[in-house]
Chains A and B, each alone.
Chain A
Amino acid sequence: MRHGSRFSDAISACAITRLCSLAVAAVLALPLAQSASAADLKAIAILTPEAATDFGWNQQGVEAARKAAAKAGVEALVAENLGYGDVRPVLRELVEDGAGLLIAHASGYNTAAPEIGAELGVPVAITDLPQARVPGKVADYTPTGHEGAYLAGRLAAKLTRTGTLGIVTSGEPPGWNAQSAAFAEGARAEKPGIVIRYAVIGPAAYSDAAGARRVTETVIAAGADIIFGQGNGSSFGMLAAVEATPAVDGGKVWFIDVIGDKTPIDKGHLLSSVIWNLEPVFSAIIADVKAGTYGEKNYGIALKDGSVGLLKTPHIPDDTWGQIEAIRQQIIDGAIVLKPVFDAAGVHALVTTTTTTP
């Protein structure tokens, strides 16, 4: 039902979650299928809050789940565009459909997914909550592209004209905090006196495109000519802002995205992107479920295995890119050691110490 075309994906997911969520009581009354045991895993399921066509978190998650499932020879059930409300009915239905592993691809599902997983005896993967790991039942993947974000910070510091960089995020989940902090660290490593302007659109403004544009325009007015944006759907508002707003020096504002590659819709402002590849993460999760070792560790991504990378666009001069590649190799070799900063207070401490004019 949820593994056909994009159309059927959208229809099924949205219809079930939005139009039919009023029938929760009816769903609750349905007989629940016995979950498959770990050894005979036949299908995995991934749930995403927004459509898997966002050139970002949701698209990356769904594509990675499909690839990992194909590699493991199991079926991938996709429920996308679910929003940030109660997904318990969808979780139950996915288990009924045969899912032996639930990948709850939004931190907003971190309460419902383990609850339903425990109820139905199905292992659950959640995100951005490493401390919630329960052997055999729950594991966390908190993909931090902090190594890639560090490279992005080095790149931005090399290319800024105004000496001011902006970080705009639509929330402060641990993975994004790590990237914000690493971006600031990278920029400061390149230019110690660089100014960094940091703003959060809202507590969970993942789809607030209008708010994203407003905040990004403010950060640009504060002097930033390169915006490091983390936002899911709201990142399109950031992109609209950099396209419509000149920098304080009258020149172009550049945008550095995260997770996905927005090159197909770029109008000449996409400088780079911290690209994530979650396929190795989901493959490792599936392997651990099959091996009966699930929940014994959490999962992440890194430069060395290619699950994190920095996008090379035509807007990056070749000599600059060569320098970035050299720094990348230093990270892989261990010459540069980066520790992720997951808490928001750590990010604030980093960015507030850089607000002096260079």
Chain B
Amino acid sequence: MTDLLTPAFATALLAGAITAGVPLLLAGLGEQMSQKAGVLNIGLEGMMLAGAYAAFVAAHGAGPWAGFAAGMLAGMAVAAVMAVMSVRFGLNQIVTGIALLLGVEGVTAILHHLKFATTYPRLSPVASWPLPGLAELPVAGPALFDRPAIVYGAIALVAAMAWIYRRTYFGLALQAAGERPSALDAAGGDVVRTRAAAVLAAGACAGLGGAFMSVVAAGIFVPFMTNGAGFIAIVLAMLARGRPLMVLCGALLFGACLSAATALQVAGVDAPVDIVQMLPFAAVLLVLALFGQGGALPAALGEAWRRGDPLGK
């Protein structure tokens, strides 16, 4: 074990934790906004997958920034369907989300099959943005402060989301749309428009998370590559109970535990792999259950809204 305690190994573990956590953070922040507005976005995984594929195609042709933009747009495109079906027409949010996921899985697999299945191109590593004075630190420097700009952007998004929720009318409208949409309607707000905007924002965030997976984390696209990350992000968003900082903590904790699980295996700890790999899920549940109890899920989460609803929601 002691022969593993090298700066290179520690850096790889720390960097791996960030790489694993960023997609969950982005998608989780998006899901959180959607849930605040009362829309349970089960199709998040599909939005991530669409973003991953579109980003890979764009990055392959025009570089990583084009990829990130394409990923966001692709996520929003899938989210637009969700918004029309679940928000505008009031169809069941869970069924719509599952349908979208299955559809996107099929479409991206077909497109990949047609375009890349015999070549499997890999992308060049995305250029990093070293932060002066910090990037030179041992271990933490290259792992935390010499990363692609999108990593810093994802962290900054946490603060932006918190500001939106606390300081803006839109944030207040989101909360009303999720808690008591009829009250928002009575106050002159547009419930459908507010919820649709939240779903589209969720799609953009999830698409960006997927883009990060294919362009930065893997450097390649393979079908179904999100591998359940969207569902983990949904859980993170629910457990975070409306607080963006808790999504950040949960995502980073999850990534750190994934890295720790890898470290235990590489170190030769003789424990069942299934037990070792439960570590991220168990740790996130425990921590968020302990520290994330200050709020509740929106009262109208998952419920379609129609003007004149007799329940008053």
Residues of A within 8 A of B (CB): 6-7, 10-11, 14-15, 17-19, 21-22, 50-51, 53-55, 81, 83-84, 172, 197-200, 202-203, 205, 207-215, 217-222, 233-234, 236-237, 239-240, 243-244, 248, 264-265, 267, 344-345, 348-349, 351-352, 354-357
Given A50-B224, A83-B105, A205-B227, also A344-B272 (CB < 8 A): yes
B16 pairs with A218, CB closer than 8 A: yes
The stretch that binds A, out of B7-15, B31-39, B61-69, B241-249, is: B7-15
Closest to B273 in A: A200
Q: Which of A18, A205, A212 contacts B109 (CB 8 A)?
A: A18
Complex CA distance for A283 and B23, rounded to whole angstroms: 45
Q: Which of A197, A212, A217, A348 contacts B270 (CB 8 A)?
A: A348
Complex CA distance for A351 and B266, rounded to whole angstroms: 10
A233 pairs with B106, CB closer than 8 A: no
B41 at the interface (CB under 8 A from A): no
Closest to A202 in B: B277
Q: How far is the CB of B68 from chain A (nearest CB, A)?
A: 15
Considering only CB atoms and an 8 Å cut-off, how many residues of chain B contact the other chain? 59
Q: Enumerate chain B residues within 8 angstroms of A197, measured Cβ to Cβ.
A: 266, 268
* B contact patch SS: helix
Given A51-B117, A53-B117, A236-B120, also A352-B12 (CB < 8 A): no
Closest to A84 in B: B224
Q: Enumerate chain B residues within 8 angstroms of A220, measured Cβ to Cβ.
A: 12
B288 at the interface (CB under 8 A from A): no
Q: Enumerate chain A residues within 8 angstroms of B113, measured Cβ to Cβ.
A: 6, 10, 14, 51, 53, 81
- Contacts A15-B106, A214-B16 given; 16 further ones with Cβ under 8 A? A7-B114, A81-B223, A199-B266, A209-B218, A210-B19, A210-B218, A213-B218, A218-B13, A218-B266, A219-B266, A221-B9, A222-B12, A236-B222, A237-B218, A349-B270, A352-B268
B225 pairs with A207, CB closer than 8 A: yes
Q: Enumerate chain B residues within 8 angstroms of A18, measured Cβ to Cβ.
A: 102-103, 105-107, 109
Given A18-B105, A22-B99, A218-B9, also A233-B225 (CB < 8 A): yes
Complex CA distance for A6 and B277, rounded to whole angstroms: 37
Q: How far is the CB of B118 from chain A (nearest CB, A)?
A: 6
* A contact patch SS: helix
Q: How far is the CB of A350 from chain B (nearest CB, A)?
A: 10
Q: Enumerate chain A residues within 8 angstroms of B118, measured Cβ to Cβ.
A: 53, 264
Q: Which of A83, A210, A240 contacts B213 (CB 8 A)?
A: A210
Closest to B4 in A: A222
Q: Which of B23, B114, B268 contacts A10 (CB 8 A)?
A: B114
Residues of B within 8 A of A (CB): 1, 3-4, 6, 8-9, 11-13, 15-16, 19-20, 23, 98-99, 102-103, 105-107, 109-110, 112-114, 117-120, 122, 125, 213-214, 217-225, 227, 258-259, 262-263, 265-274, 277
A207 pairs with B219, CB closer than 8 A: no
A222 pairs with B225, CB closer than 8 A: no
B102 pairs with A22, CB closer than 8 A: yes
Q: Which of B220, B223, B227, B259 contacts A218 (CB 8 A)?
A: B259
Given A81-B113, A200-B273, also A218-B122 (CB < 8 A): no
Q: Which of A50, A217, A233, A344 contacts B273 (CB 8 A)?
A: A344
A17 pairs with B225, CB closer than 8 A: no
Closest to B122 in A: A240
Q: Enumerate chain B residues within 8 angstroms of A351, measured Cβ to Cβ.
A: 268
Q: Enumerate chain B residues within 8 angstroms of A219, measured Cβ to Cβ.
A: 266
Closest to A213 in B: B218
Complex CA distance for A239 and B219, rounded to whole angstroms: 10
